[in-house]
C-alpha cells in the first residue's frame, strides 16, 4: 500500500506483484531502462526500483499534481518523474537521449485517492465541485463542459464512453437543468442522472456510467491510450515487455486489438511465389492475460474489473533467405 500526497487518502496498487513480475526484471534486464506510464501513488514504481540494478533507470509519468508531489519524495538517482501524459513518452525519451527502453507498464484509469477526495469531483458518492480533471492545472473542467455542450455531443459522449442506453434522456435532462441553474457539483449531476435513468442496474448507482463517460472525455483518456499504445510499441526495444492494466471494456478492447494487430499477421496464399524473406512476421508475442485473484478482489473490491495484458516485442529473426536480421 502506498500513501498519497494527501495523507488521509490511501491507495492499494492493483496487480502489484503480477505487473512487476511481468516486466521480467532478471539477469541483465535488471540494469535496463523502464517506463511506469502512470505513477499514481507510486506502488508499481517503488517495487520496480527495489528490483532494478544500480545502472538501471525508471522514468514515470503522471498528469496529477498530487501524484507528482508524491513522486518527488522518491530520492533515488535512478528515478525521474514527468508531469505529463504517457502519450508524450517518445518526446520525453528523446529529450533525455534515450532511444529504446526494456519495458513499459501502463496502469490505466484513476487511483483511489482521486476517487475518494471529494474535491476532485470524480465520484458521485461524496458531494464536491464537478471537476474530474486528472491535471487540475490545465484544461476544461466537467462543470464547464456540461454548461456549454450541445445535447447531441452530451449524448454522444455518454453513450460511447459510458455505454449508457439512457444517454439521450440524460443529455436532455442536463440541458434542461442548466437552463434553470448552473450544474457545479457532483451531487447535482448525480441527481439529474438518477432522475433520467428509468431502469437501474443491480448493485450499481445510476450515475456510474455517466460519470465514467464524462471523466474519460474530460481527460482524453482514450485518445491518450491510442497514442500511448503506438508510442509504447515504438519505444520498446526488441525483447522488451509491454504490460497494460485496464479497468473497463473500452480500454481493454483497444489494448487487445492493438496487441492482436501486431501479433497476428495475415498469411498469403501458399500457392503464390513469395520468398520467405517477404513473408509477414509477427511483431509482438502475446504472453499473458491476468486478472486479480479472489483474495485481491476481497481485499480491494475496486480491483474486480482489472485485466492486464502482457506482450513481448519480437526481434526480427535472421533467415537464410534474408541473409541477416533487419
Binding-site residue numbers for S-adenosyl-L-methionine are 42-44, 62, 86, 107, 114
Nearest to 20 by CA among 53, 45, 55, 54: 45
Nearest to 132 by CA among 157, 150, 153: 157
CA distance 261 to 87: 19
How would you class 315 by CB atoms within 10 Å of its CB: exposed for 0-12, middle for 13-18, buried for 19 or more? middle
Binding-site positions read 42-44, 62, 86, 107, 114
Q: Residue 260: count other Cβ atoms within 10 Å of its Cβ.
A: 13
Beta bridge partners of 83: 62
CA distance 168 to 88: 35
Residue 295, C-beta contacts closer than 8 angstroms, at least 6 positions apart: none
- What are the strands of the beta sheet with 57-62, ordered from one edge? 79-83, 57-62, 33-36, 101-107, 236-246, 307-313, 284-290
The SS3 assignment for 5 reads: coil
CA distance 260 to 244: 14
Q: Which three cell numbers stand for residue 278?
A: 517477404
Residue 146, C-beta contacts closer than 8 angstroms, at least 6 positions apart: 130, 154, 174, 178, 183, 189, 214
Amino acid at each position: 500500500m502506498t500513501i498519497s500526497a494527501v495523507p488521509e487518502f490511501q491507495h492499494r496498487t492493483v496487480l502489484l506483484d503480477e505487473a512487476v513480475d511481468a516486466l521480467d526484471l532478471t539477469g541483465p534486464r535488471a540494469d535496463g531502462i523502464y517506463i511506469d506510464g502512470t505513477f499514481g501513488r507510486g506502488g508499481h514504481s517503488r517495487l520496480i526500483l527495489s528490483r532494478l540494478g544500480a545502472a538501471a533507470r525508471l522514468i514515470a509519468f503522471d498528469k496529477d499534481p498530487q501524484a507528482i508531489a508524491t513522486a518527488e519524495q522518491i530520492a533515488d538517482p535512478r528515478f525521474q518523474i514527468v508531469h505529463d501524459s504517457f502519450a508524450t513518452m517518445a518526446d520525453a525519451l528523446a529529450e533525455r537521449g534515450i532511444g529504446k527502453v526494456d519495458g513499459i507498464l501502463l496502469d490505466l484509469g484513476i487511483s483511489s485517492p482521486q476517487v475518494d477526495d471529494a474535491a476532485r469531483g470524480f465520484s458521485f458518492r461524496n458531494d464536491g465541485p464537478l471537476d474530474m480533471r486528472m491535471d487540475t492545472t490545465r484544461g476544461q473542467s466537467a462543470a464547464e463542459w456540461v454548461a456549454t455542450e450541445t445535447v447531441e455531443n452530451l449524448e454522444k459522449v455518454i453513450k460511447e464512453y459510458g455505454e449508457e442506453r439512457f444517454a439521450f434522456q440524460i443529455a436532455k435532462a442536463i440541458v434542461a437543468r442548466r437552463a434553470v441553474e448552473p450544474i457545479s457539483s457532483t451531487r447535482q449531476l448525480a441527481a439529474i442522472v438518477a432522475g433520467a435513468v428509468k431502469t437501474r442496474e443491480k448493485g450499481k448507482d445510476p450515475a456510474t456510467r455517466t460519470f465514467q463517460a464524462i471523466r474519460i472525455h474530460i481527460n482524453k483518456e482514450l485518445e491518450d491510450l491510442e497514442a500511448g499504445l503506438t508510442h509504447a510499441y515504438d519505444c520498446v526495444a526488441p525483447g522488451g515487455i509491454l504490460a497494460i492494466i485496464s479497468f473497463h471494456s473500452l480500454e481493454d478492447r483497444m489494448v487487445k486489438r492493438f496487441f492482436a494487430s501486431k501479433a497476428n499477421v495475415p498469411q498469403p496464399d501458399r500457392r503464390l511465389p513469395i520468398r520467405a524473406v517477404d513473408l509477414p512476421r509477427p511483431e509482438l508475442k502475446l504472453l499473458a492475460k491476468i486478472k486479480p485473484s479472489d483474495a485481491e478482489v476481497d481485499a480491494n473490491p475496486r480491483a474486480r474489473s482489472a485485466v492486464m495484458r502482457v506482450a513481448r516485442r519480437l526481434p526480427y529473426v535472421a533467415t537464410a533467405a534474408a541473409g541477416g536480421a533487419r
